[in-house]
Structure 1
């Protein structure tokens, strides 16, 4: 019986060398690879294998990418280290009736065993690649944690030597000027115009190939990157955390914090009108114990504007159906929050503990606490715009409860603003709380804070209350001195009723410390002239008065 003719298999040979070194030699690596393949093809001549004369040689091509001139490699794991990539290649080969053969590893994809062997080898290659990647990532993380600069585009203001950042004095002045101008001008658009007028340009440097780059006008995007780069305060950023760097800082921490606050305010759309006298600094930050936000609102009465924070339910639904909602005087809440934060920033021992800063020198500790006190001073005495900008930047959320106020502060910015050398993540918070009492009067709720919070703040003198107490004391003195013979005589002289005089007279016997607090504007928030004269039966004992009035 005639023997069937063996089908001819045309075999292409592909060779590759990563570098061009040695290719000029008469016999190089590409020739050696091709000879090995030709010898193997000759050994398979009985299977009909025939080498085609076309040479597929790639000298100086890396195998690290799929975008290559050829698809076969000298070793299987040089073809690809990704099993998914190899599966796609085999799928393409199968569509065109092409088999893959490894000369040095003695298998091909025409058999099931060959396919299994390839998959196993590629799985190990992929595993090795992933382990190597993890080691590289771990090394980068460890290096950055030590404050090492790990390369990339060289930042304006620095040169590099032995992989370390060194200050470039001329460029450093440009960087400092950019930060100062931004704080002065308040927006990047105007900053860009000022930078262009001064002729400041991007960093000039040369590539490894000797080509010069940089020296161009600084774009707005580049300005944003400069202003938000913690490298300039001596920090190295990695995955949302800041680590103390080994390089010298160009910008003071308080300057950078002020710039970040301005950037955050602008980016979040919190631009306030120039000259705004009463910005709602807790807008979007104030919630109740259920997480429902309180919205800023206002009312105008007798030409005076009254601001409030109101539960959404009281705005969107009928107020009568939601008597549990909040309607808080904005000034009282904002003032209380500012006082609580300022007290925390000036409590020197507790602040070091809260920020988690230990083991620093006495000088570093003093500088950090002085900067914290400066922040507190801005909150207490700054302009409305300054207070609102700083408060919005450091406050994450304020929670109003039935018996306390809770405040979550962004610890990362506090650490930077105070110059504390500590690693932080964006999720780190400094939690504060203070007891508070809320007393309802109609639809409005009055906020009553402890005396410790009340006493150190500038008073808000209640003119009507002060006038009422003064009248009571004057009328009592007139009676005692015989200048007025009776309550009716005082009523006739003042044009009021005798009943009104009799209601006011007990106020002449208020405890001296309560009178002093009224004079300074430090009286309890719910203490008013109307309440004293119409709602309360004032006892004569001073201790009972203090208990009744919450003073």
Structure 2
């Protein structure tokens, strides 16, 4: 091609797969119209590239599209001067995603043209018009989402199961659930253990000690589930899921379900009373300002727990002839168990770490992760809708500020485990706790923890 040639790539997309098997479908129609437009600009040096960028059966609400990924890679490589589409919403329906695409186009010096709307991002007026159009496209998408949510709420109010990965012990049965008896026995066993022990942590330890793992299942898409040990978050989710009592929950409201319960009402009510009592007891405790939030959650490189200990030293001497004690200060440490009990021959192998310094470092790392709310939500596999972004940003900012202000109790809430030695620090977050703190639901494939 000559120096004056403008390389044009045509991008097409169709949301549904209907009709894609036809010899001439919507993607072909879009491509023909775009090719004719490029040909009409031949006097300006426009030339159509041979590569085809077609996404069939993929929604415009996501950027995870094979052809779009190839297109962006070729743009970044400097192979494309102009991206040509039939309509703007063929590229994306999301204003946030469009801003990302325009930024990628600008970085590579690539323009964007919609042939039916006569938009060109090389001009300021074109940018303004495009943003206005996409605002309406986003509005239409949100209205559609509201209609879907309203239909979902109405269906759940009738006790219907509206899809997704069924809870352990159930399998889909149309708009209801059927009991999978083998897995249901595991659920009943968990309820019985908790009713006896009254502690989720003890139940998890008991199940692990006895080699009882999460049953292997497959999702509707064929993805493998289960196989690992039960986490405390998983056990708590099972114990508090009203589906097991024959109900359907939706946004804090519980409706009678169409399915059979795995847990009888008497057992369900007794377990919920135990859980409520444990929570009330935890609220009534008045921990001191020097409580160690990492207690039970910090281990050394060999997996040995570090004990939370303290010593008290006088900061001002006792007045002579007075019964009053001088001022005293409490110093907290995390100490190797073997070192604390004097079982190590070489005390240099043990760890004795000042608690406040360790907690400050960990709080700073977590706060730094929260400074990127979307990135943090993606790593935690949280389900975030565009309408949730404002709330997500606010909650992440609030928690990060509290962490930096020294409210280390939040650290203990978010942590699953900390592994530390003289050179390395590994922080493992509890995904369920993170989702609860941010008020965002977990994706079905979310892992229990993230390192």
Q: TM-score, normalised by structure 2?
A: 0.50
* 2:61 and 2:94 in contact (8 A); partners too: no
Aligned mate of 2:46, from 45, 49, 53? 49
The Cα shift of 1:135 comes to: 0.7
Q: Describe the superposition over 1:7-49 as per-residue Cα deviations: whole angstroms up to 9, x where unpaired.
A: 6533233344567888788877655544432321121123332
Q: Which residue of 1 aligns with 2:258?
A: 246
Q: Which residue of 1 aligns with 2:191?
A: 179
Return the alpha-carbon distance in structure 1 between the equivalents of residues 4 and 41 of structure 2.
12
1:128 aligns with 2:140: yes
The Cα shift of 1:55 comes to: 4.3
Q: Describe the superposition over 1:265-316 as per-residue Cα deviations: whole angstroms up to 9, x where unpaired.
A: 4345549xxxxxxxxxx889xxxxxxxxxxxxxxxxxxxxxxxxxxxxxxxx
Q: Which residue of 2 aligns with 1:534?
A: none
The Cα shift of 1:132 comes to: 0.5
Matches within 5 A, 1:152-551: 152-196=164-208, 200-210=212-222, 212-214=224-226, 216-267=228-279, 270=282
Count of matched residue positions in the alignment of Structure 1 and Structure 2: 269
Unaligned runs of 5+ in 2: 73-82, 287-451
Alpha carbons of 1:158 and 1:51: their partners in 2 closer, same or farther (altered >3 Å)? closer
The Cα shift of 1:100 comes to: 1.4
Return the alpha-carbon distance in structure 2 between the equivalents of residues 143 and 81 of structure 1.
27
The Cα shift of 1:235 comes to: 2.1
Q: Which residue of 1 aligns with 2:62?
A: 65
Q: Which residue of 2 aligns with 1:401?
A: none
Return the alpha-carbon distance in structure 2 between the equivalents of residues 149 and 100 of structure 1.
44
Where 2:111 maps in the other structure, the secondary structure is: coil
Alpha carbons of 1:107 and 1:144: their partners in 2 closer, same or farther (altered >3 Å)? same
Return the alpha-carbon distance in structure 2 between the equivalents of residues 165 and 99 of structure 1.
51
The Cα shift of 1:155 comes to: 1.6
Q: Describe the superposition over 1:442-476 as per-residue Cα deviations: whole angstroms up to 9, x where unpaired.
A: xxxxxxxxxxxxxxxxxxxxxxxxxxxxxxxxxxx
Return the alpha-carbon distance in structure 2 between the equivalents of residues 173 and 58 of structure 1.
45
Aligned mate of 2:35, from 38, 42, 56? 38
1:83 aligns with 2:95: yes
Return the alpha-carbon distance in structure 2 between the equivalents of residues 24 and 232 of structure 1.
43
Aligned mate of 1:142, from 154, 167, 170? 154
Alpha carbons of 1:78 and 1:27: their partners in 2 closer, same or farther (altered >3 Å)? closer
* 2:60 and 2:89 in contact (8 A); partners too: no
Alpha carbons of 1:212 and 1:101: their partners in 2 closer, same or farther (altered >3 Å)? closer
* 2:13 and 2:90 in contact (8 A); partners too: no
Where 2:148 maps in the other structure, the secondary structure is: helix
* 1:146 and 1:243 in contact (8 A); partners too: yes
Where 2:262 maps in the other structure, the secondary structure is: coil
Return the alpha-carbon distance in structure 2 between the equivalents of residues 226 and 110 of structure 1.
55
1:13 aligns with 2:25: no
Alpha carbons of 1:28 and 1:95: their partners in 2 closer, same or farther (altered >3 Å)? same
Alpha carbons of 1:165 and 1:198: their partners in 2 closer, same or farther (altered >3 Å)? farther
Q: Describe the superposition over 1:393-422 as per-residue Cα deviations: whole angstroms up to 9, x where unpaired.
A: xxxxxxxxxxxxxxxxxxxxxxxxxxxxxx
Q: Which residue of 2 aligns with 1:340?
A: none
Return the alpha-carbon distance in structure 1 between the equivalents of residues 17 and 256 of structure 2.
43
Unaligned runs of 5+ in 1: 1-5, 272-281, 285-551
Return the alpha-carbon distance in structure 1 between the equivalents of residues 17 and 144 of structure 2.
26
Alpha carbons of 1:8 and 1:164: their partners in 2 closer, same or farther (altered >3 Å)? same
The Cα shift of 1:134 comes to: 0.7
The Cα shift of 1:56 comes to: 4.0
Alpha carbons of 1:96 and 1:259: their partners in 2 closer, same or farther (altered >3 Å)? same
Please identify the structure whose Cα radius of gyration is greater. Answer: 1
The Cα shift of 1:236 comes to: 1.7
Where 2:8 maps in the other structure, the secondary structure is: strand
Return the alpha-carbon distance in structure 2 between the equivalents of residues 196 and 283 of structure 1.
29
Return the alpha-carbon distance in structure 2 between the equivalents of residues 28 and 269 of structure 1.
64
Where 1:192 maps in the other structure, the secondary structure is: helix
* 2:14 and 2:90 in contact (8 A); partners too: no
Where 1:100 maps in the other structure, the secondary structure is: strand
Alpha carbons of 1:151 and 1:201: their partners in 2 closer, same or farther (altered >3 Å)? farther
Where 1:63 maps in the other structure, the secondary structure is: coil
Q: TM-score, normalised by structure 1?
A: 0.42
The alignment's C-alpha RMSD in Å is 3.6
Alpha carbons of 1:27 and 1:65: their partners in 2 closer, same or farther (altered >3 Å)? same
* 2:165 and 2:219 in contact (8 A); partners too: no
Return the alpha-carbon distance in structure 2 between the equivalents of residues 35 and 13 of structure 1.
10
The Cα shift of 1:226 comes to: 1.2
* 1:155 and 1:203 in contact (8 A); partners too: no
